[in-house]
Amino acid sequence: MKRREFLKKTAALGIGSALLPATGFPESSRDQGAAKGPVVIVSGNGEVAARHALKQLQQGGEVLDAIIGGVTLVEDNPEDITVGYGGLPNEDGVVQLDAAVMHGPTHNAGGVAAIEGIRNPAKVARLVMERSDHVLLVGEGAKRFAKAHGFPEENLLTDKTRKIWLKWKETLSDQDKWFPGPDDEYSELLREYRHNYGTIHCSALDANGDLAAVTTTSGLSFKIPGRVGDSPIIGAGLYVDNAVGAAGSTGRGEANLTNLSCFMIVEFMRMGKSPQEACLEVCRRIVDHNRLPHLRHKDGRPNFGVNFYAVNRAGETGGAGIYRPSRGYWVGDAKGVRELEMGYLFERREE
Ligand code: GLY
């Protein structure tokens, strides 16, 4: 059967789990209970996304429209310098963005990595999923795909992020010819964001019990050009199994790339752990696997942070980080939108 006919046929039939072959999991461990949506879960920088997505879902909106609409508000906001337009650039002063989406009912996904000049990578990721036979497009190819779909190309570096980048460049070394300017508000911002992996994650369970997730980021500040983090990688920066739950992450992407953390969270939920326990268990795994000396404090603990957010099919949510996160995560459900505390393994400590 030709691909186009196959797609038409599966669309006409509906891609319900009844049509899928058995996976070898007993039904009891695959189905984590009756769905109780809509429920939205978002990382700490995403209150506006939580409010938007919940409203959309409560009005009967489609789950991907709801969550991508939510994170788009943050991508468009230059005040959030870790995502989308106005995100911190790479070491060349160029903003390179990563994003992915995953759709529970079809178990399909799309992502873009190191895309330049396009402010809404989450929307492009969705188009990769829905309008191509691929899952991940990178760099120039991702940009050309976005432009083919009508996305305008623009300079994503704002005056603010250019000044922070310039401060980074000028203070990087005393062996080069760049002289640092005066200590000012951009020096302060540089101190705060020098090693920043800021990202926004949003997952949702809709009223039909369907799950979806999106993660979008400008990645590690001042990264080597071409560096790709966990956010556009399915299983690392996000994962959904419609029969179990969804998970996403913010923080050091390299730790999630080498542990497939979000896939593991969903698998722990499949085994019966609560979302919070599943997130904590993956934090423990990362700490156990963290062997490289340059990534460890003297006491052996990681010198980086990673945070996780998860929701199961019953609508239970949880969040946890390796270190006590500076803020909670946002949940939106029948009780409204509120910030909940994250679990953690260790108190934050200075070394
Ligand atoms: N978690 C975002 C990144 O590492 O790029």
In a domain, 271, yes or no: yes
Whether residue 229 is predicted with pLDDT greater than 60 in this model: the reply is yes
pLDDT in tens, 30-89: 445 555 779 999 999 999 999 999 999 999 999 999 999 999 999 999 999 999 999 999
Q: What's the whole-number average pLDDT of the chain? A: 91
Q: What is the mean pLDDT of residues 134-154?
A: 98
Query: For a substitution probing ligand 1, which of 252, 295, 306, 308 has the most ligand atoms within 8 Å of its CB?
Result: 252
Q: What is the mean pLDDT of residues 17-22?
A: 40
In a domain, 50, yes or no: yes
Whether residue 11 is predicted with pLDDT greater than 70 in this model: the reply is no
What is the predicted pLDDT for the residue at 299? Answer: 92
In a domain, 77, yes or no: yes
Q: What is the mean pLDDT of residues 96-102?
A: 98
In a domain, 184, yes or no: no
Radius of gyration of the chain from Cα atoms? Answer: 20
Q: What is the mean pLDDT of residues 132-140?
A: 98
- Say if ligand 1 is within 6 A of residue 229 CB: yes
Domain with 125, as residue range(s), is 3-157+196-346
Whether residue 6 is predicted with pLDDT greater than 70 in this model: the reply is no
What is the predicted pLDDT for the residue at 198? Answer: 81
Query: For a substitution probing ligand 1, which of 112, 231, 309 has the most ligand atoms within 8 Å of its CB?
Result: 231
In a domain, 172, yes or no: no
In a domain, 336, yes or no: yes
Domain count, the chain: 1
What is the predicted pLDDT for the residue at 154? Answer: 97
Whether residue 8 is predicted with pLDDT greater than 50 in this model: the reply is no
**CATH code, 263:** 3.60.20.30
CA angle 224, 228, 229 (to 5 degrees): 110
In a domain, 146, yes or no: yes
Q: How many CB atoms lie within 10 A of CB 152?
A: 9
In a domain, 67, yes or no: yes
What is the predicted pLDDT for the residue at 196? Answer: 86
pTM of the model: 0.90
Active site residue 199: yes
Nearest atom within ligand 1 for CA of residue 98 = 5
- Say if ligand 1 is within 6 A of residue 230 CB: yes
Cross-strand partners of 318 = 310
Q: How confident is the model at residue 256 (pLDDT cuts 50, 70, 90)?
A: very high
